[in-house]
Amino acid sequence: MTMKLYGLAMSTCTSKVITCLHEHGAEFELVPVNLQNGEHKQPAFLAKNPFGQIPALDDGDLTLFGSGCDLLRSQNPKEAALVKAWMEVESQQFSPAISSIFYQFIIVPSMYGGSPNQMIIDESSAKLGKVLDVYEKRLSSSKYLAGDFYNLADLHHLSYIYYLMKTPYGKLINERPRVRAWWEDISSRPAFKKVAAGLTLGDKN
């Protein structure tokens, strides 16, 4: 039975799941969700994700992240701990900074017709730069964030950095040689190449 994934290909959250499923070689069907019409707030969708957020799976089993393709390194406790530690860094340090730039530079103009708040962008860029300085140092001793193996912590960075590279703030990646090499590596994986074409927020027709 083909799995159904409810979400939007252009969504940073949905694209993480899609990338992971491609890494699995899993068969799935992407079912678009009409957010403007409030489809994600209807009972049928809430039964799949009670928080009314995309993405959602038929059975709500988000443990599909990493299972079967060893992205969590579950067979090696030390490596698994490192992956989880760097996933926490991504969630608590990297994501808040880069998501603010993404929202102001891409979402505000393209979806709301507004102007970006440059003060927020500048503050977030400074925060992101400090995080990336830590990454630059870390990547001097390992190929990927958690070690010399591609893992879920790396995968979680893909969609936001992809969007960042469409903006002038992609320089934050390019100015750091090891971070740039890491980005070029992880973004060249076949699983993500299948996803990147759908990351079209902010693109002009």
Residue 204 has pLDDT above 90, yes or no: no
pLDDT over 90 percentage in the chain? 72
Q: Are residues 12 and 56 in the same domain?
A: yes
Which pLDDT score, from 0 to 100, does residue 67 have? Answer: 46
pLDDT at site 69: 67
Per the structure, how many domains does the chain have?
2
Predicted local confidence at residue 205, as pLDDT:
54
Residue 205 lies in a domain: no
Give the per-residue pLDDT at 179: 98
The CA distance from 138 to 75, in Å, is 23
Residue 137 has pLDDT above 50, yes or no: yes
**Residue 41 structural domain:** 4-65
- 83-99 average pLDDT score: 97
**For position 34, which CATH number holds?**
3.40.30.10
Long-range Cβ contact pairs of 25-29 (< 8 A, separation 24 or more): 26/64, 27/2, 27/3, 28/2, 28/3, 28/4, 29/2, 29/3, 29/4, 29/5
Confidence of residue 30 (pLDDT cuts 50, 70, 90): very high
Is 167 a residue whose pLDDT tops 90? yes
Is 54 a residue whose pLDDT tops 90? no
Q: Tell whether 173 and 122 lie within a shared domain.
A: yes
- What is the reported pLDDT for 48? 86
Please determine, for residue 136, whether its predicted confidence score (pLDDT) is greater than 80.
yes
